[in-house]
Every structure is written in C-alpha cells, then in structure tokens.
Structure 1
Amino acid sequence: MLAGLLFVGLGIIGAFLPVMPSTVFFIVAAIFFARSNPAWEAKIMNHPKIGPPIRAFRERGAITQSAKIAAVSAMAVSSVLSGYLMRHHGYWAFVPSMVCALCAVFILTRPSQ
C-alpha cells in the first residue's frame, strides 16, 4: 500500500512536470493497489483523465501515438545531451543511450491505442 501511495505521489508530480511521465507511475500504483487496496485501484482505473490510458495498457498493452512520440522524442534528446555531457567517460557515455534505445524499442512495439 505504501508503494502504491508513493507512485500516486510521483504520478501527481509528473502531471505538473513535463520531464516525468505520470501515466507510468499511475500504472505501477494500480498494480500495487490491486493487491493491497482494490478500492483505490478502482479509483485509479475509473478516473476520467488517467483511467483510459491505464486500462488500455493493462488490457491490450496499448500506448497512444502521441505518448509514443513524446516518450521517444524525450529519450532521443536526453540521449544526445547525456552523450555530450559524458563524452570524456569512454564507454560509459553510451550507457544512458543504450537504456533509452531499449526503452524506445519496447514503446514502439506496443500497439497504438
């Protein structure tokens, strides 16, 4: 239950900060609440704004096209920036870009909502 509350808090913060993807945090919160407090899971799933993308992801693994574009674009920008800032660290400079590339592959292979 505590983990669910933590992720709801992060999701709320993410709703106001463009660098944090709030939907991901609400998906994880719903997973934790499914076991600890089904009533709170239902509140998340039935919320008019955040419920539909969470239900789509849980039921079909679907991500909206606009969310895919935003996520992959942000990862590309952060990969270029981290590569530039870490250019003197040898192979370690490529680690963030590789993680972003793997995440982008996952996102792009999900069906569109």
Structure 2
Amino acid sequence: MTVFNETTKRDIMQKYDIQLAKFAFDIVQTVVMVGISIYVWLMTNHKANSTRIRDLESRHDSEIDELDTRLTSIETKLDAMPNQQSMNTLHKRINSQSQTLHKIEGELKGIADNNAMILEKLLKN
C-alpha cells in the first residue's frame, strides 16, 4: 500500500503542480495582455495627440503666412504714403497756388470792371 500511496501522492502532486503552472501561466498571460492593451491605448492617444498638434501647427503656420502677407501689403502701402514732411510741402504748395489764384481772381475782376467801364463809356457816346 505504501507504493500505491506514494504513486498516488506523486500523481496528485504532479496534478497540482500542473494546475499551479497553468494558473501561473494564465496570470502571466493576463498581465501581458493587459500590458499590451495599455501600451496600445497609450500609443493611440499619443498618435491622436501628435495628429492634433500637427494640425494645430499647420493651421498656425498658414495663419502666420497670411498675417505676414497682410503685414507686407500694409508696409508697402505705408511706404507709398506721404510722410509729414511731404504733407507739409504739399500744404505749402497748395497755399501758394491758392494765393496765386486769388491774385488772378482780383486781376480778372479788375479787368472785368475796366471792360464794364469802357463798355459803359462807349454806350453813352
């Protein structure tokens, strides 16, 4: 009976060792699968974030290019506009022309008055 008991004990122990090994393998497999799932989830989020960041950078770059174009256009227009000194010179020239025009207006009025007097004298005679 001792041989039977030892063989039976050995069979029972081997059976428990196999079950324990299978259980340990299942735990390791579950841990590895959870680890892979977490890794995939993190990489997916990282990829999504990278894509969003790339999209934001692209939009940012296009907006900066548009603003640069607009700024260049404004600078070009400002360069073509007269400065204060040019405006002062233009104002002086306009004032000078205005004075000349008033002088010519006065002379023409005098000529018109003379013509009216000559016409009146000619009509009276």
Whether the TM-score (by the shorter chain) exceeds 0.5 is: no
**TM-score, normalising length from structure 2?**
0.20
Greater Rg, structure 1 or structure 2? 2
Greater RCO between the two (CA within 8 Å, min separation 6)?
Answer: 1
**TM-score, normalising length from structure 1?**
0.22
